[in-house]
Amino acid sequence: MKKILLGNEAIVRAALASGVSYVTGYPGCPSAEIGDEFGKIAKENGVYAEYATNEKTALESAIGASFSGLKVLVNMKSFGINVCSDVLLPLAYTGTKGGMVIVVADDPSCWSSAQSEQNSRMYAYLGHIPMLEPADPQECYDFTKIGFEISEKFNMPVILRTVTRCAHQRAVVEVDEPHSVETPRGDFVKNPHQYSTMPPRTLEMKKELLEKIKKIQAYAEKSKINKIVGLPKSYNLKVGIIASGVAGLHVMEALEELKLDLPVLQLGSFYPLPKEKIIKFIKPLKKVLVVEELEGYVEKEIAVLAKDANAKMEIFGKNVLPIIGELSAEKVCGALSKVVGMKFAEFKTKNLNLPKRTARLCEGCPYWYILPTIKRIAPEGTIFGGDIGCNMIGALPPHSMYDYLFCMGASIGVAHGILKAEGPERSRKVISFMGDGTFFHSGIAGMVNAVYNKSNPLMIVMDNRITAMTGHQPNPGMGKNLMGEEAPELSIEEIAKACGVKNIKVLDPINQKELEDVVKEFLEKEEISLIVCKKICALLLKKQTAEKHDQ
Amino acid sequence: MTNKIFNLIINGVGGQGVITLLILIDQVAMNEGYDVRSSELHGLSQRGGSVETHIRFGKKVNSPLIANGKADLILSLEILEGLRETEKSGKQTKFLVNDYFLPFLGSLTAEEIKKQLGLIKNETYIIPASKDCKEKLQNEIVCTLYSLGYAVAKNLIPMKKESVLKAIDQMVPEKYKELNINAFNLGYGS
């Protein structure tokens, strides 16, 4: 059956076709549609689906399910793998029981990511974890299924690393007819020898892990995920291309554009690499161009392999392609023309110097009542800390208010450090801003640190009653979970109180006078203070009103 | 048309319905028997900023991205975003721009934008999609379908009316079908 699918939708379909029964993760762009879709279809397909409080608890949840024998899909964006890395690395040592595929979606060019242009491929090396790189929705579908196969065959978690142009690409995909499965119940069979990492067993486990990777490499050598495209006569020029993931699409486009016929080794497995296949491919070549986005990890591997296999071969890669930003057919054309020595005139764009239209707060967004007001009334020199979510739009004009911005939950953690460093005699004010989703994700730990180590930031939690930026996902403050069931509604102010925060105020920021008065009062406090500005996301309100109207 | 790839850029401002239109056109392309690939952006980029999406269809499409200068048609839902696309349009690129302006702090005036749009040598159509939809259908968001209707009627895109109507029937929820068809016909007949 042929269907047009988004890369993320293809992953969902393939996971279902593979018999997945447990889905967990944390929403982020460009991976969010995976969890969101399962939220809608889980029940009818006999699947359990959740959004965990953060990526680390998600992966822990996944491990519990896998050890109990269930097939698990985990979904997160690039930065999520940083959050769960603590539990990811020992997972490679213990291995899995039920198959586990972990989707990690990178965002080259930072279309929807603030904190860094992360290349999560390095985690494969760091943890010795197999990693597959699909190029398009069809490969998202195929590789998810292969990922589960590898995971079950070798009892290893497999990372499916996508990028924006793959996860958010739509294309025609050949899919199997969907079939529903009975939800299997898990059964945790005790096996501490395998499931507990504890020296001296830990080093033994590392040895077992490396042996597994060798076997998976042998599998990768034979697998169709690494394929050579091009006819024998294409070898005439003695120039070959090795492409990784989505870069392969740009290579095919560039070859067509330049009317070149060159052999291409399209790598679908980033780790372990099919070394024998690569050696066979590069042996007859005089030149090879390695096309991969961001840092040239594959290129370095090729250089090592070429030392023995074909030392005279010239290797091109990051000397003709950028490390920053996603690739395109044009960039590959530019690189290829240098390698084969032909002319290529890049299209000259005009520059009309048009004003940039950056992201902005939506019409009616409650944050309009908070950010400008606090900026206006805060004393001269106040430091403002931003966080991840809709609130980061506060970094852009017309607000331009954040003095620092890092990752989920960092606004309060860094605020504490500044206050301790400057000391109380400076009496500088530091105000941190985060949303409700971020508070539950990782804001609590920073708040506890400020209480325990005695600093006095003013923490503003802008509670818009949902995780808004990534497309309206539920969080623990809402009283609902991903599958639409009623759930305990965790109170931000009660949590803060239990953590020892003494100055707490919950208010509706539309009451501007009250907000101003409380900010002024709390800025004089010697301990940490918290204002929870509670007002529903304007888009969510609109949606809810429309739904009520329909009923 | 069969051996050539048709390159369509749809752009506008986050929230205008760019992606909804893209999903529909993908389906139309499939209904016409083409291979199709498209690329879109979500998340931060969707929050009121410039949104540019690419659709490519033809016999066999390799990449979902359209190289600079290669677009056949640029369908802009907003005039400044339409003007922005002229920075990288080729000689063959045609422009279909919804006469709708979403100003922001520091943006040019509508007059200035339209003046600059009037200076380009490309085949350009500036159409009152939002205005007509608001007046006649009491709904601005379907300016997307209006624009598609106009593009089909004027042969700016190699798609048949029946394929679009079929795609609407396949993709649009029952209660919005009539509205979408009306908007399409309004643009088609304008």
Q: What pLDDT shows up at residue B2?
A: 43
Q: In the structure, how many helices (H) and strands (E) does chain A have? A: 20, 20
What is the chain B residue with the closest CA to A252? Answer: B62
Q: Is B64 on the interface with A (CB under 8 A)?
A: yes
Residues A160 and A237 in one domain: no
Nearest to B62 among A170, A256, A469 (CB): A256
Nearest to B26 among A33, A170, A398 (CB): A170
Q: What pLDDT shows up at residue A71?
A: 97
ipTM of the modeled complex? 0.95
HSE, CB side, 13 Å, CA atoms: give it for residue A199: 0
Residues A173 and A267 in one domain: no
CATH for A117 = 3.40.50.970
Q: Is the pLDDT of residue A234 over 80?
A: no
And the tokens for A447?
């708040």
Q: What pLDDT shows up at residue A180?
A: 64
Q: What pLDDT shows up at residue A328?
A: 96
Q: Is the pLDDT of residue A399 over 70?
A: yes
And the tokens for A53?
């409080």
Mutation for testing the B interface, residue in A111, A170, A344, A537 having most B CBs under 10 Å: A170
Dist CA B187 CA A188 (whole Å): 61
Residues A246 and A306 in one domain: yes
Query: Distances in Å between the alpha carbon of A354 and those of A357, B66, B84?
Result: 9, 21, 7
At which residue do the structure tokens 């995976």 appear?
Answer: A34
Dist CA A349 CA A354 (whole Å): 13
Question: Which residues, in sequence order, are CB contacts of B109 under 8 Å at separation 6+?
Answer: none
Residues A188 and A250 in one domain: no
Identify the weakest region by mean pLDDT among A178-187, A266-275, A399-408, A467-476. A178-187
Q: Mean pLDDT, to the nearest integer, of A234-239?
A: 81
CATH for A283 = 3.40.50.920
Tell me if A473 sits within 8 A of A32, measured CB to CB.
yes
Q: What pLDDT shows up at residue B15?
A: 87
Q: How far is A303 from chain B (nearest CA, A)?
A: 28
**Is the Cβ pair A362, B68 closer than 8 Å?**
no
What is the chain A residue with the closest CA to B22? Answer: A170
Answer yes or no: is A247 within a domain: yes
Residues A85 and A17 in one domain: yes
Torsion, Cα A134 A140 A144 A146, to 10 degrees, reads: -60
Q: Mean pLDDT, to the nearest integer, of A514-530?
A: 98
List all residues of chain A from 342 to 361 with a beta carbon under 8 Å from chain B: 347, 349-352, 354-361
Residues A410 and A543 in one domain: yes
Report all structural domains of chain B as residue ranges with CATH numbers, in order of start.
Answer: 6-128+156-172 (3.40.920.10)
**Is the Cβ pair B44, A112 closer than 8 Å?**
yes
Query: What does the DSSP assignment read for chain B?
Result: -TTS-EEEEEEEETTSSHHHHHHHHHHHHHHTT-EEEEE---GGGGSSSEEEEEEEEES----SSPPTT--SEEEESSHHHHHHHGGG--TT-EEEEE------TTPPPHHHHHHHHHH--S-EEEE-HHHHHHHHHS-STTHHHHHHHHHHHTTSSS--HHHHHHHHHHHS-HHHHHHHHHHHHHHHH-
**Is the Cβ pair B40, A350 closer than 8 Å?**
no
Residues A147 and A236 in one domain: no
Answer yes or no: is A246 within a domain: yes
C-alpha gyration radius of chain B: 15
pLDDT digits 0-9 by tens, A303-356: 999 999 999 999 999 999 999 999 999 999 999 999 999 999 999 999 999 999
Answer yes or no: is A414 within a domain: yes
Residues A87 and A142 in one domain: yes
Answer yes or no: is A245 within a domain: yes
List all residues of chain A from 78 to 97 with a beta carbon under 8 Å from chain B: none
**Is the Cβ pair B42, A29 closer than 8 Å?**
yes
Q: Is B134 on the interface with A (CB under 8 A)?
A: no
Q: How far is B86 from chain A (nearest CA, A)?
A: 8
Strands (E), A153-231: 158-163, 169-174, 227-229
B42: which chain A residues are within 8 Å (Cβ-Cβ)? 29-30, 32-33, 112, 168, 471
C-alpha gyration radius of chain A: 26
Dist CA A230 CA A232 (whole Å): 7
Answer yes or no: is A345 within a domain: no
Dist CA A156 CA A214 (whole Å): 13
Averaged pLDDT score across all residues of chain A: 96
**Is the Cβ pair B64, A347 closer than 8 Å?**
no
Range of the domain at A443: 366-548
Residues A217 and A231 in one domain: no
pTM of the model: 0.97
And the tokens for B1?
């048309």
Query: Distances in Å between the alpha carbon of B66 and those of A14, A156, B71, B73, B140?
Result: 28, 38, 7, 11, 28
Residues A205 and A298 in one domain: no
Strands (E), A399-539: 404-405, 430-435, 458-463, 503-507, 529-534
What is the chain A residue with the closest CA to B113? Answer: A354
pLDDT digits 0-9 by tens, A401-450: 999 999 999 999 999 999 999 999 998 999 999 999 999 999 999 999 99
B44: which chain A residues are within 8 Å (Cβ-Cβ)? 29, 111-114, 359, 392, 469
Answer yes or no: is A351 within a domain: no
Q: Look at chain A and report how many structural domains it folds into.
A: 3
Q: Mean pLDDT, to the nearest integer, of A248-262?
A: 95
Mutation for testing the A interface, residue in B5, B61, B65 having most A CBs under 10 Å: B65
Answer yes or no: is A360 within a domain: no
pLDDT band per the 50, 70, 90 thresholds, residue A181: low
Identify the weakest region by mean pLDDT among A42-51, A182-191, A206-215, A321-330. A182-191
Q: Is B118 on the interface with A (CB under 8 A)?
A: no
Mutation for testing the A interface, residue in B37, B63, B74 having most A CBs under 10 Å: B63
Residues A264 and A380 in one domain: no
Answer yes or no: is A358 within a domain: no
pLDDT digits 0-9 by tens, A48-105: 999 999 999 999 999 999 999 999 999 999 999 999 999 999 999 999 999 999 999 9
A256: which chain B residues are within 8 Å (Cβ-Cβ)? 62
**Is the Cβ pair B44, A471 closer than 8 Å?**
no
pLDDT < 70 stretches in chain B? 1-3
Closest alpha carbon to B21 in B7, B8, B34: B8
Tell me if A355 sits within 8 A of B96, measured CB to CB.
no
List all residues of chain A from 14 to 33 with a beta carbon under 8 Å from chain B: 28-30, 32-33
At which residue do the structure tokens 């005139």 appear?
Answer: A345
pLDDT band per the 50, 70, 90 thresholds, residue A547: confident
And the tokens for B87?
């920075």
Residues A211 and A247 in one domain: no
